[in-house]
Amino acid sequence: MTPHIEFRNLSVSYGGKRALGGISLTVPRNTILGIVGPANSGKTTLLKTINRTIEFISAAKVEGEVFVDGEEVRAVESVYALRRRIGMVFPLPVGLPMSVYDNVAYAPRRMGIHNKAELDVIVEQCLRDSVLWDEVKDRLDLLGTRLSGGQQQRLTLARALSLSPEILCLDEFSIAIDPVTTMKIEEVLSRLRERMTIVLVTNLTQQARRMADHVAFINASELVEWGETGQMFSAPVKAITGRYLNGEFG
């Protein structure tokens, strides 16, 4: 079976400075891949190559290949169509300058859903999945930018889910969210695995341990090793992996 996502010898540099070197990694369908590693080691860069938002950084140079569903991402017919298949949640919350409702309904509307009842269902479901519904259900007309940081973060998640993506990329999604809500979202994500493949970049190794099927450890732009979560935590091949996962550095 074709892996859902595959990186083949992927290298990225920013203006000659190497950000990622020779990454080869596969993500099977309907699994969660946890990407862990110290700050500035290239985790976010790796995510950005999947939906090609890396191209917004003009100095970035990408070598090697990234396949989604067996198709090289730079060979796709429409990058916009590619991005609609991939939900992306960035570490900084971004409420777009429209109402909470419109934030979530934006992508479905773009895909041609204009029936109000249908949109209502999608909006509610996405907001429930991102554990934001109870806090905003009475003020869906509020401007998205007026929510608190943690709420905006969950709004970003709801927006990403509104695409019904086949791949969901989460970059430090819990950075602005309290632990209780984080746990609730983690539960939802674990269930969402039935519908989509999830790539989870996180600084919290325990979060990766709780949620991920596979864990990849990236350090200083290199993929040190990757494997099944249990094995990575209990019997990593390299000593440095064990030290990082046990919180001895990073």
Partner 1 sequence: MSLPPAAAEPPKAAVPTGDGKDAGAKARAAERRGGRATFRGEMVIEFLIRLCGWSSIICVAAIFYFIFQEAAPVLPKMNWGEFFGSVTWRPTSAEPRYGALALIVGNFAVAIVAMAMAVPLGLGAAVYISEFAGPRVRETMKIAIEVLAAVPSIVWGFIGLTIISPLLIKYAGAELGSNLLNGSVILALMSVPLIVSISEDALRAVPDSYREAAMALGANKWEMVRRVLFPAARNGLLAACMLGVGRAVGETMAVLLATGNVVQIPHSFVDPIKTLTATIAAEMGEATPGQPHYQVLFLIGILLLVITCAINVIADFIIKGAKAKANA
- Give the residues lining the site for partner 1 (CB under 8 A): 51, 53, 56, 58, 80-84, 86-88, 90, 92, 94, 96-98, 106-107, 110, 141, 143, 145-146, 156, 159-160, 163
Q: Hey, how many other C-beta atoms are within 10 angstroms of the C-beta on 219?
A: 19
Find out whether 250 and 244 touch, Cβ atoms under 8 Å. Answer: yes
The nearest distance, CB 143 to partner 1, in angstroms, is 5
Q: CB-wise, 47 or 215, nearer to partner 1?
A: 47
Find out whether 224 and 217 touch, Cβ atoms under 8 Å. Answer: yes
Q: CB-wise, 23 or 160, nearer to partner 1?
A: 160
Q: CB-wise, 152 or 207, nearer to partner 1?
A: 152
The nearest distance, CB 150 to partner 1, in angstroms, is 16
Q: CB-wise, 94 or 175, nearer to partner 1?
A: 94
CA gap 190, 196 in Å, rounded: 10
Q: What is the DSSP letter of 66?
A: E
CA distances from 87 to 14, 82, 159 (A): 24, 10, 8
Question: What would the DSSP string read from start to end of 196-218?
Answer: -EEEEE-S-HHHHHHH-SEEEEE
Q: Give residue 216's identity as a one-letter amino acid code.
A: A
The nearest distance, CB 144 to partner 1, in angstroms, is 10
Q: Which residue has the tokens 């991402």?
A: 73
Q: CB-wise, 96 or 183, nearer to partner 1?
A: 96
Q: CB-wise, 58 or 116, nearer to partner 1?
A: 58
The nearest distance, CB 84 to partner 1, in angstroms, is 3
Q: Hey, how many other C-beta atoms are within 10 angstroms of the C-beta on 152?
A: 22
Phi-psi region of 125 (alpha: psi -120 to 50; beta: other; left: phi over 0): alpha
The nearest distance, CB 247 to partner 1, in angstroms, is 30
The nearest distance, CB 249 to partner 1, in angstroms, is 30
Q: CB-wise, 63 or 141, nearer to partner 1?
A: 141
In DSSP terms, 63 is beta-bridged to 11
The nearest distance, CB 234 to partner 1, in angstroms, is 36
Find out whether 34 and 47 touch, Cβ atoms under 8 Å. Answer: no
